[in-house]
Amino acid sequence: MTRGEAVLNPHMTVSVLGVRHHGPGSARSLKDELERLRPDIVLVEGPPEADGLVELAKDPELEPPVALLAHVPGEPSRAAFWPFAVFSPEWQAIRYAVEAGVPLRFCDLPAAHGLAPGADAPAGEADDADAPGERGAEEGSGGEAADGEPAVRVDPIGALARAAGYDDPERWWEDVVEHRGDTPFQVIAEAMAAVREGHVADGHEARREAFMRRTIRRAVKEGFERIAVVCGAWHVPALAGSPDGAAAWGAGLPSGKADDALLRGLPKVKVEMTWVPWTYGRLAAWSGYGAGVTSPGWYHHLFVAPDRPVERWLTSAAGVLREEDLPVSSAHVIEAVRLARSLAVLRGRPLAGLAEATEAVRAVLCEGDDLPVELVQRRMVVGERLGHVPDSTPMVPLQRHLREEQRRLKLKPEALDREHDLDLRKPLDLERSGLLHRLRLLGVDWGTPQTSRSKGTFRESWTLAWRPEFDIDLIEASAWGTTVPAAATARVRDMAEGRAEPVQDASPGAGPSGPGARGGRRNGHTGTGGRGGTASAVSLATLTGLVERCLLADLPDALPYVLDALSARAALDGDVTHLMAALPAMVRAQRYGDVRGTPAAGLATIVDALLSRICVGLGGAVTGLDDAAARDLLGHVDAVHAAVALLQDVSAPSAAAPSHDAPVASAEALPGEVSGASAGTGGRGASGVPSEVLSRQASGVSGETTSRDASGESGETPRRRWLAALRGVSGRADLHGVIEGRFTRILLDAGDLDVGQAGTLMSKAMSAGHPPARAASWVEGFLSGGGLLLVHDPRLLALVDEWLTGLAPETFVDVLPLLRRTFGAFAAPERRSIGSRVRSLGVEDDDTLDEDVDEERAAAAVRTVLAILGRTETA
């Protein structure tokens, strides 16, 4: 059949040009060869779906490295890339076709087949380096070697290189093809014919080649006269037929019928294609899945440099080193060039290559130091180039919106890691931060937040690095919305409602929650009903983390939904530890809200409600705990305590007057619920203190008298509520020692108890009525977080000392591990001074310290200290 057509048009020629993918030498000679042949159609190995995209190459805005991206709409995880660098022969073919105005068609097997779920060689495709597998990069430079079924890993280049006595096929290619300056395509075809002799293509490879032949046939039938086919060298024999060139095209090849049979009934799927920017880093093999090109920067240089590649290369290497303030003179470069040359001669290579250049850089420019060599390697050998696609490229609206945002906010995507310090007080930086946080919510980690060096909350440090696969993530995320904020909002809503997988939580202290953390607990509150409903899948801590991230990302529209979900979840979650784990993040969020100018009123309500629930539920949560659970709870108590302190500092006014216009439905119902429930706590409590709590909470006025820092403001501060709750609980007899000790300490530190009261409590805890182990754990709880107290209060020290010395020898041994743990956590100087105090215990008079202070002389110092603390001296 094909013969018949050849007869019809005797001038028709088919030139099959075998290239090495991403080979600069191939690219250059291909360019010349195309100029010489002047084909009226160019066929290139690649997915035919991209035919319509070729026109875009006219646009100078389309800057390689770029890749053709094929993805299945609605199923963005099924995608494949075909990367092109400026030194890729395929790219040069595209350039030629566009400039000469001749049609260009891609002739490989359509991506529609490769990406179809039921592709008949699904297992093979994933491994096949040459096939567009799942997100796999196409076409390694040695990728042609891996062509065919994975079981039959044929390596034609390796075979040729071994025949030529090279151990490294790459270097053979470089020497024989890249460094020759001209590539005799006829010779390559013959060599490949020799290598492929006896090889029968089967499976995927056979289908690909059949499709290529079919495309050629179609072009022939359409009457094109000079057809140029650009394909991997490996395919040449299968496409060119008899190598002698005497017979017309098609001789010795399978018939069109056979090819059609082979291609019948392939699974198919709808595929969309577009151009996406690519990076050299991604082309390089050493950064994950690449195209197997280890030195794209070098290849780029080889292709771009008009002459004297080694000289130019070493000169730019010197430039790179100078930028880093390493002294490199022109004399260095001269010597480096000489060394590279003589090394090449020594190694018997026609021209110095990358290996020689690198040795010269190391021995001369870097004076043997490997660190700057790494720098050259990263900056030059791999290169930091990121491609660019024009606006007219098919894009999902989300990508387009992001491009506009990037332009507006002057944040350019770059391949190299770059540090950005944002000052959130500036509107531009604030918006940038918002954009980055939103992208993170969408799963596009363009920026990674760094721990900021400065303490201020208005500063944020980011590391930005654009990776090509973000385009895929954006396409995936475009299901949520057409703009970045809209998509992020929708995503957050779905996450809050438990419909979407939460993106991994970045907030550092979201806190451990989850049933596993409370192994030994018997708590009536766990397992109560209300776990059903929409929010059940999302844990409270996740939700609070989400709130924090919403604020960071400036998504006010999403916040109500999350807060709704949160308050619903908090109301239903009877487990106080969950609530306690959630509170710190919320408080942090509230603080951020202040810095960023987001209205935090709704949040304040939630925090307030959460704290009330915690205060109420604390009584039930602290009983009947074993050692591990008690310690676990203690961590939460400490976290909440710290958070509460923050709360008072930052938002006392807003907490005192919660705005009820916040879109939180259940918030309004809370106060009544609180008082009712706290009545329950009070009833459960054994001592008389809780009644005070009860009355105070119910009335809502400050009836507190013991606190020193009563500043006369109306309404109770969260801190006082929290302390009251602690006080209410701490008197109970069934507490774990560690918890009671800790509570006592917190109350003492807060000034809620004076030293005398604490001493009483301590002596009670230490008294013989308690088993020694409990007393020891009380001491542990009391002293955890620093032993300075013992240094400064001889009475407490005496109590501990008395108790310790009074222990029977065997009980002493029993409590020793606990004591060791407690005291071992103290800093060495603290331990030392405690020890010296103990030594002089009986000798020292308790009150000497206080009496010796000369008030008048101390006044100046007191003033200074108060100034440092930021307080004015009050009468």
Distance of closest approach, residue 356 Cβ to another protein, in angstroms: 9
Instruction: Decide: 458 and 429 in contact? Cβ < 8 Å.
Output: no
What's the DSSP call for residue 388? B
User: Interface with another protein includes 834 (CB under 8 A)?
Assistant: no
Distance of closest approach, residue 560 Cβ to another protein, in angstroms: 53
User: Interface with another protein includes 174 (CB under 8 A)?
Assistant: no
Q: Considering the complex, state which of residue 182 and residue 369 has its C-beta at the smaller distance from another protein.
A: 369
Part in contact with another protein (CB under 8 A); list of ranges 209-217, 342-350, 403-411, 713-721: 342-350
Which one among 159, 363, 642, 819 touches another protein, defined by CB under 8 A? Answer: 363
Instruction: Decide: 255 and 1 in contact? Cβ < 8 Å.
Output: yes
User: Interface with another protein includes 359 (CB under 8 A)?
Assistant: yes
Q: Considering the complex, state which of residue 341 and residue 420 has its C-beta at the smaller distance from another protein.
A: 341
| Interatomic CA distance for residues 276 and 256, integer angstroms | 35
User: Interface with another protein includes 374 (CB under 8 A)?
Assistant: no
Handedness of CA 822, 825, 826, 831 (dihedral sign): positive
| Start-to-end Cα distance in the chain | 110
User: What does the per-residue mask of binding to another protein show for 652-681, with x meaning CB under 8 A?
Assistant: ------------------------------
DSSP bridge pairs for 75:
72
Which one among 56, 191, 364, 797 touches another protein, defined by CB under 8 A? Answer: 364
Q: Considering the complex, state which of residue 342 and residue 450 has its C-beta at the smaller distance from another protein.
A: 342
Which one among 345, 428, 665, 849 touches another protein, defined by CB under 8 A? Answer: 345
User: Interface with another protein includes 165 (CB under 8 A)?
Assistant: no
How many CB atoms sit inside 10 A of residue 589's CB?
26
Which tokens in the block code for residue 159?
Answer: 């075979």
Q: Considering the complex, state which of residue 212 and residue 355 has its C-beta at the smaller distance from another protein.
A: 355
Q: Considering the complex, state which of residue 311 and residue 460 has its C-beta at the smaller distance from another protein.
A: 311
Distance of closest approach, residue 347 Cβ to another protein, in angstroms: 7
User: Interface with another protein includes 338 (CB under 8 A)?
Assistant: yes
Q: Considering the complex, state which of residue 365 and residue 558 has its C-beta at the smaller distance from another protein.
A: 365
User: Interface with another protein includes 342 (CB under 8 A)?
Assistant: yes
Q: Considering the complex, state which of residue 124 and residue 372 has its C-beta at the smaller distance from another protein.
A: 372
> What residue type is assigned to position 512 of the chain?
P
User: Interface with another protein includes 367 (CB under 8 A)?
Assistant: yes
Part in contact with another protein (CB under 8 A); list of ranges 36-44, 362-370, 376-384, 630-638: 362-370
Give the number of residues in contact with another protein, rule: CB under 8 A.
Answer: 21
Distance of closest approach, residue 158 Cβ to another protein, in angstroms: 21
Provide the 3-class DSSP secondary structure of residue 120.
coil
Distance of closest approach, residue 175 Cβ to another protein, in angstroms: 16
Which one among 339, 552, 726, 758 touches another protein, defined by CB under 8 A? Answer: 339
| Torsion, CA 607, CA 609, CA 613, CA 614, rounded to 10 | 20
| Interatomic CA distance for residues 124 and 203, integer angstroms | 9
Burial class of residue 164 in the structure, from the number of CB atoms within 10 Å of its CB (0-12 exposed, 13-18 middle, 19+ buried): exposed
Question: Which residues inside 303-332 make contact with another protein, applying CB under 8 A?
Answer: 327, 329, 331-332
User: What does the per-residue mask of binding to another protein show for 432-471, with x meaning CB under 8 A?
Assistant: ----------------------------------------
Provide the 3-class DSSP secondary structure of residue 81.
strand
Q: Considering the complex, state which of residue 154 and residue 343 has its C-beta at the smaller distance from another protein.
A: 343
Distance of closest approach, residue 381 Cβ to another protein, in angstroms: 16
| Torsion, CA 153, CA 158, CA 160, CA 161, rounded to 10 | -170
Which tokens in the block code for residue 825?
Answer: 């956590």
Distance of closest approach, residue 351 Cβ to another protein, in angstroms: 15
Distance of closest approach, residue 295 Cβ to another protein, in angstroms: 16
Distance of closest approach, residue 352 Cβ to another protein, in angstroms: 10
Q: Considering the complex, state which of residue 247 and residue 345 has its C-beta at the smaller distance from another protein.
A: 345
Distance of closest approach, residue 358 Cβ to another protein, in angstroms: 9
User: Interface with another protein includes 130 (CB under 8 A)?
Assistant: no
Cα atoms in the Cβ-side hemisphere of radius 13 Å centred on 828: 0
User: Interface with another protein includes 370 (CB under 8 A)?
Assistant: yes
Per DSSP, helices labelled H in 73-202 are: 89-100, 111-114, 122-127, 156-163, 169-176, 185-196
3-state helix vs strand vs coil in the chain, percent to 5: 55, 10, 35
| Interatomic CA distance for residues 31 and 21, integer angstroms | 14
Q: Considering the complex, state which of residue 367 and residue 668 has its C-beta at the smaller distance from another protein.
A: 367
The string of DSSP letters for 783-834 reads HTT-SHHHHH-HHHHHHHHHHHHTS-HHHHHHHHHHHHHHHHTS-HHHHHHH
User: Interface with another protein includes 346 (CB under 8 A)?
Assistant: yes
Question: Which residues inside 483-512 make contact with another protein, applying CB under 8 A?
Answer: none
Distance of closest approach, residue 339 Cβ to another protein, in angstroms: 6
Q: Which residue has the tokens 């499709």?
A: 211
Which tokens in the block code for residue 608?
Answer: 């307030």
| Interatomic CA distance for residues 579 and 615, integer angstroms | 10
| Interatomic CA distance for residues 111 and 138, integer angstroms | 11
| Torsion, CA 336, CA 340, CA 345, CA 346, rounded to 10 | 90
Distance of closest approach, residue 342 Cβ to another protein, in angstroms: 4
| Interatomic CA distance for residues 684 and 686, integer angstroms | 6
Part in contact with another protein (CB under 8 A); list of ranges 159-167, 337-345, 539-547, 652-660: 337-345
Instruction: Decide: 617 and 574 in contact? Cβ < 8 Å.
Output: yes
Distance of closest approach, residue 311 Cβ to another protein, in angstroms: 15
Part in contact with another protein (CB under 8 A); list of ranges 357-365, 387-395, 475-483, 762-770: 357-365
| Interatomic CA distance for residues 789 and 796, integer angstroms | 8
| Interatomic CA distance for residues 135 and 432, integer angstroms | 30
| Interatomic CA distance for residues 329 and 705, integer angstroms | 78
Q: Which residues of 424-448 are buried (b: 16+ CB within 10 A; e: fewer)?
A: beeeebbbbbbbbbbbbbbebbbbe
Distance of closest approach, residue 43 Cβ to another protein, in angstroms: 43
| Interatomic CA distance for residues 303 and 297, integer angstroms | 10
Q: Considering the complex, state which of residue 231 and residue 373 has its C-beta at the smaller distance from another protein.
A: 373
User: Interface with another protein includes 853 (CB under 8 A)?
Assistant: no
Q: Which of 721, 719, 741 is nearest to 730 (CA)?
A: 741
Part in contact with another protein (CB under 8 A); list of ranges 259-267, 343-351, 615-623, 846-854: 343-351
Query: What is the Cα gyration radius of the chain?
Result: 37
Which one among 63, 149, 335, 673 touches another protein, defined by CB under 8 A? Answer: 335
Bridge-based pairing of strands 75-84 and 418-423 is unpaired
Q: Considering the complex, state which of residue 75 and residue 369 has its C-beta at the smaller distance from another protein.
A: 369
Distance of closest approach, residue 354 Cβ to another protein, in angstroms: 13
Cis amide leading into 65 (omega within 30) = yes
| Interatomic CA distance for residues 265 and 694, integer angstroms | 78
Distance of closest approach, residue 362 Cβ to another protein, in angstroms: 8
| Interatomic CA distance for residues 108 and 154, integer angstroms | 20
Distance of closest approach, residue 483 Cβ to another protein, in angstroms: 50
Which one among 12, 343, 375, 609 touches another protein, defined by CB under 8 A? Answer: 343
Which one among 347, 426, 499, 792 touches another protein, defined by CB under 8 A? Answer: 347
Part in contact with another protein (CB under 8 A); list of ranges 358-366, 511-519, 532-540, 704-712: 358-366
Where along the sequence are the contacts to another protein (CB under 8 A)?
Answer: 327, 329, 331-332, 335, 338-339, 342-343, 345-347, 355, 359, 362-364, 367-370
